[in-house]
Structure 1
Amino acid sequence: MKPLRIGIVQYELAPLKMEADFWDGIRRDADQAKADGVQLLIYPEYLTAHLLALSEPLAHDEAAPYLDQFTDRYIHFFSDLSRDTGIIILAGTHIRRVGSGYVNEAYLFFPDGRIETQQKLHLTPEERNCWHLSPGNRLNIIDTDFGRMAILVCYDIEFPELSRIVAEQEVALILNPIYTDQAAGYYRVRHCAQARAIENQRFVALSGMVGSLPYIPQIDAGYAESGCFSPCDFPFPANGVLCITDNMQKDLVIVDLDLTQLKRNWEEGQVSPYRDRKPELYQQLAGQPSQ
């Protein structure tokens, strides 16, 4: 399987004077990534929510239709950008209308025009009670020239069942676009992302937001340190951190992933938590009457 150079965008929330500022900033990121040889570029959850900076403050039930009006522009822009740069782009997530409701959906754009999507499966209380979003109900296993990938959006990484399911579908890389506005939220997601990498012996790439827009209630602040994680075992770093931003500022971190190294971990690591599972024992223990 081919090695893969990924670029992880730590995206900055900042005032926007006009809509073009948003799209132009993303294009500059992609141009830099192309110059650096990036093959997969990853943006965070709620990327297009930055466009709320162009509006007067809105209630959540007003913000969802406001963002949905950018859906066609979003899809066309990133389709063209992926084709022009030759980079696979995870364009964060976007709120769009589906039926009578709205979903938080990630889009993965390919240079040949292919588009893969993944709706967020587990919604936070704010997404349920304020945004009134609808959860997704399917996992998309994505075949690429670099191996299989899956997208778990922010909170979804905190549920180990999902990562185990995608690992059993031979996914090597889990993409984890996130939006967290406080340290506690970030570290919940970060530590779970690292746990999923360890217990499933997979790569997990996390992209988040920093910055501040205090007058926009939906994205008033961002707190994140974006990076990519591996098992804490041979041949990877002892702490399982392949790369991480070293500040709370806009950044692009780059790392080369090699599936052959991941396979060496499966075969030569000191432990193999994925292979050494005991599903039959767990079922037996779960069925035991409580004492």
Structure 2
Amino acid sequence: MVKLAAIQMVSSADLGANLQRAEALVAEAAGNGARLVVLPENFALFGSRDIAALAATEAVDANLQQFLSAQAARHQLIVVGGTIPTPAEDGRVYATSFVYAASGNCLGSYRKIHLFDAELGDEQGRYRESDAYAPGDSVLVVDTELGKLGVAVCYDLRFPELFRAMQDRGVDIIALPSAFTRSTGWAHWLPLLRARAIENQCLVVAANQGGIHDAKRQTSGGSVLIDSWGRVLAEAGLGACTVIANYDTEEQIALRKRMPVAQHRRL
């Protein structure tokens, strides 16, 4: 058995307050025995128009990357650092998720591939991530002491071919930092997560934003851990919290032997 945690936040445009809250929640998860924590998308800054400035600063001093590395080393756990903005070549930014080992060393980074451009009819109305964000183009699966870890971000969840590419790389655990809107999240979040866990026979650790961020933006919460059979191991409602569960890695190995889905693929 191994214990893992999804961290749910209600991040704001106050960078300092967000980092204090993230630090406290990581410490809480570590104190409860978690060996891996996943932070949500935009954990450090949410709803601000200053992401380009933050990305430029991060390119020079890497403050947020150092923060994540320090959390991993201090608590001796693997940290999937939600997303932070990093500069793109065309003047936009990437939504980048850094993964840190318990030593504090960076194991790799993933740039969100699929960008959320949609009209939902909620308070926000129109979402155009591609105005500010550039898409990544590479799949990430890294070796960790807990198995092979893959990372996807939020809207990526709707594109199963990305997760099949992770399966091709032998993925065991999928981390999914997110900031799902309330309307889409309450309709689709859990069914999509369960599907990704079942079809790839993986543990899914999905860390979402969960609350009211400003007058126009509400996120759906429901951060969750789902095992390779599709069972919900632990789940949040709304509000900032840690979601922790034990996971039986031997059970996952046994399931893959009994039902070798990956070997049965034809297309």
Q: How far apart are the structure 2 equivalents of 1:163 and 1:7?
A: 21
How do residues 212-291 of structure 1 correspond to structure 2 at under 5 angstroms? Answer: 212-215=212-215, 220-232=217-229, 240-245=231-236, 247-268=237-258, 272-277=260-265, 279=266, 282=267
Q: Where does 1:101-250 land on structure 2 (aligned, <5 Å)?
A: 101=91, 102-115=93-106, 116-125=108-117, 126-131=127-132, 133-215=133-215, 220-232=217-229, 240-245=231-236, 247-250=237-240
Aligned partner of residue 139 in structure 1, secondary structure: coil
Unaligned runs of 5+ in 1: 53-57, 233-238, 283-291
Q: Share of identical aligned residues, percent?
A: 20
- Give the aligned CA root-mean-square deviation in angstroms: 2.1
Moved over 4 A (4+): none
Unmatched 5+ residue regions in structure 2?
Answer: 118-126
How big is the shift at 1:138?
0.9
Contact 2:11 / 2:42 at 8 angstroms: preserved in 1?
no
**Residues 50-99 of structure 1, C-alpha deviations (whole Å, 9 max, x = no match):** 383xxxxx4xxxx3313325522101111112111112111100112132
> Deviation string for 1:203-251 (max 9, x for gaps)?
1111101122325x6xx2221201111244xxxxxx6212211x21222
Q: Distance in 1 between matches of 2:155 and 2:181?
A: 13
TM-score by length of 2: 0.86
Q: Scaled by the length of structure 1, what TM-score is found?
A: 0.79
SS in 2 for 1:92: coil
Give distance in 1, aligned partners of 2:164 and 2:175. 14
2:28 to 18, 32, 37: 32
CA distance in 1, matches of 2:25, 2:70: 14
- Does the alignment pair 1:85 with 2:81? no
Give 1:148 deviation, angstroms.
0.3
3-state DSSP of counterpart to 2:51: helix
Q: Equivalent residue for 1:42?
A: 38
Deviation for aligned residue 1:183: 2.9
Structure with max Cα Rg: 1
Say which SS state the counterpart of residue 13 (structure 1) adopts.
Answer: coil
Residues 18 and 45 in structure 2, CA contact (< 8 A), matched pair in contact too: no
Q: For residues 130 and 20 of structure 2, what CA distance do their matches in structure 1 show?
A: 33
Aligned length: 253
- Deviation at 1:49? 2.2
